Amino acid sequence: MAVVYKKSPALTDAPLSFCPGCTHGIIHKLVAENLVELGVFDRAVGVAPVGCAALSDYFFACDMYVAAHGRAPAVATGQKRVHPDNFVFTYQGDGDLASIGTAEVVHAAHRGEKISTIFVNNAIYGMTGGQMAPTTLVGQKASTAPYGRSEEHCGKPIRIAEMIATIEGAKFVERVSTDTPANVRKAKKAIRRAFECQIQGKGYALVEVLSTCPTNWGYTPAGAMTWLQENMIPYYPLGNFKDFE
Span interacting with another protein, options 2-10, 37-45, 131-139, 231-239, rule CB under 8 A: 2-10
Q: Is 18 in the site for another protein (CB under 8 A)?
A: yes
**Who's near 34: CB < 8 A, 6+ residues apart?**
188, 191, 192, 195
**Candidate list 5, 85, 201, 234; residue touching another protein; CB under 8 A:** 5
Q: Taking the CB of residue 34, how many other CB atoms lie within 10 A of it?
A: 26
Q: What is the DSSP letter of 152?
A: H
First and final C-alpha spacing in the chain:
40
Q: Is 38 in the site for another protein (CB under 8 A)?
A: no
Q: 169 vs 223, which CB is nearer to another protein?
A: 223
**Candidate list 129, 185, 189, 200; residue touching another protein; CB under 8 A:** 185
Beta carbon of residue 19, minimum distance to another protein (angstroms, whole number): 8
How many residues in the shown chain lie near another protein by CB under 8 A?
31
Q: 67 vs 118, which CB is nearer to another protein?
A: 118
| Stretch (H or E) spanning 117 | strand 116-121
60 to each of 9, 47, 171, 186, 230, how far by Cα in Å? Answer: 9, 10, 26, 21, 32
**Candidate list 81, 180, 200, 230; residue touching another protein; CB under 8 A:** 180
Span interacting with another protein, options 19-27, 78-86, 119-127, 148-156, rule CB under 8 A: 19-27
**Candidate list 26, 55, 138, 199; residue touching another protein; CB under 8 A:** 26
Q: Is 15 in the site for another protein (CB under 8 A)?
A: yes
- Residue 193-232 contact track with another protein, rule CB under 8 A, x = bound: ---------------------x-----xxx--x-------
Q: Is 3 in the site for another protein (CB under 8 A)?
A: yes
Q: 181 vs 201, which CB is nearer to another protein?
A: 181
DSSP of 63-90, one letter per residue? Answer: EEEE-STT-HHHHHHHHHHH-TTSEEEE
Beta carbon of residue 32, minimum distance to another protein (angstroms, whole number): 9
Angle between helices 102-110 and 72-82 (to 10 degrees): 30
CA 163, CA 159: separation in Å to the nearest integer? 6
**Candidate list 146, 181, 201, 234; residue touching another protein; CB under 8 A:** 181
Taking the C-alpha atoms of 36, 40, 41 and 43 in order, what is their torsion angle to the nearest 10 degrees?
Answer: 170
Nearest to 149 by CA among 159, 158, 135, 138: 138
**Site for another protein, rule CB under 8 A:** 1-8, 11, 15-16, 18-26, 28-29, 180-181, 184-185, 214, 220-222, 225
